[in-house]
């Protein structure tokens, strides 16, 4: 029995390492630098063997922590006071996620904003209120019935897009979150979340409204609530996307 458990843990660890390799490939798919140096460019200094060994050990510790995390609480504990990328230096709170750990529906955004960083909870500013309206008035659910998280857990300075290495540090934790929740549907909010999860550079205007597969989970990209605050006319498009989600979840669409 113990041997079977060890083999299962080993298989999970191998799967997590494979996911990291796939993520590196994704960085290239999105057009982000993967370490290549153009001809004639200054060559980077060689990494000392001791630094390489520490980085390898650190990656192994992360993979082991992810494999050992059997609940969202233990996954959050595995993150600890995360200092795995530069975003930690400027954050007030690490914004892990909130909601039902067995949710049928998960919303994934880009990263915490100023208000989210201050309060330690995702989507609590103006865009968050609009997301709450989508959940309660559109889907007819309570906010606590769903799960809400972001691609990165710390606020990027000035609400800029997260950098590739910042995504690389956080993405394994996001993937494990989704594995543990095992929802029926993931809604990717906005270009950055959709392109990161799908490893696809297609514009959000062409991704939204279409179903995709994310490791066996149905994924629907749609516009970010912050975008809707600037472009309220496109709320009708998000409502169309929401109705697609409702159909999959078996939620009746209210008549006009």
DSSP assignment of 136-154 equals: IIIS---GGGSEEEESSSS
Give the percent of the chain with pLDDT over 90. Answer: 71
Grouping H, G, I as helix, E, B as strand and the rest as coil, residue 106 is strand
CB atoms within 10 A of CB 142: 12
Mean of the pLDDT values across residues 213-237?
A: 97
- Between residues 37 and 86, the one the model is more confident about: 86
Mean of the pLDDT values across residues 98-117?
A: 97
Binned at pLDDT 50, 70 and 90, residue 188 comes out as very high
Segments in 44-88 forming alpha helices (H)? 49-68, 72-79
Residue 155: both structure tokens together: 């606020």
Give the percent of the chain with pLDDT over 70. Answer: 75
- Between residues 14 and 66, the one the model is more confident about: 66
Q: Which fold has domain 2-29+60-249?
A: Uracil-DNA Glycosylase, subunit E (3.40.470)
- The reported pLDDT for the residue numbered 98 is 98
- The reported pLDDT for the residue numbered 64 is 72
Kindly list the strands in the beta sheet with 217-222, ordered across the sheet, starting from the edge strand earlier in the chain. Answer: 98-99, 147-150, 105-109, 185-189, 217-222, 212-214
Domain ranges of the chain: 2-29+60-249
């Amino acid at each position: 029995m113990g041997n079977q458990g060890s083999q299962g843990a080993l298989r999970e660890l191998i799967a997590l390492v494979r996911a990291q390799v796939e993520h590196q490939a994704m960085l290239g798919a999105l057009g982000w630098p993967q370490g290549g140096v153009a001809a004639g460019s200054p060559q980077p200094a060689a990494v000392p063997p001791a630094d390489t060994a520490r980085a390898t050990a650190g990656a192994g510790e992360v993979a082991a922590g992810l494999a050992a995390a059997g609940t969202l609480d233990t996954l959050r504990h595995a993150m600890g006071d995360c200092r795995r990328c530069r975003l930690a230096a400027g954050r007030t709170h690490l914004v892990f996620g909130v909601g039902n750990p067995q949710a049928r529906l998960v919303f994934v955004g880009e990263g915490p904003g100023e208000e989210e960083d201050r309060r330690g909870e995702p989507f609590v500013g103006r865009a968050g209120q609009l997301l709450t309206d989508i959940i309660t008035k559109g889907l007819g659910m309570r906010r606590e019935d769903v799960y809400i998280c972001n691609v990165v857990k710390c606020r990027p300075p000035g609400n800029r897009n997260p950098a590739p290495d910042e995504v690389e540090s956080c993405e394994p934790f996001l993937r494990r979150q989704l594995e543990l929740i095992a929802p029926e549907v993931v809604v990717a909010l906005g270009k950055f979340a959709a392109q990161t999860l799908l490893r696809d550079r297609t514009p959000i205007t062409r991704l939204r409204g279409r179903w995709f597969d994310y490791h066996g989970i149905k994924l629907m990209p749609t516009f970010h609530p912050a975008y809707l605050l600037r472009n309220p006319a496109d709320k009708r498009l998000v409502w169309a996307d929401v109705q697609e989600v409702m159909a999959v979840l078996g939620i009746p669409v209210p008549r006009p």
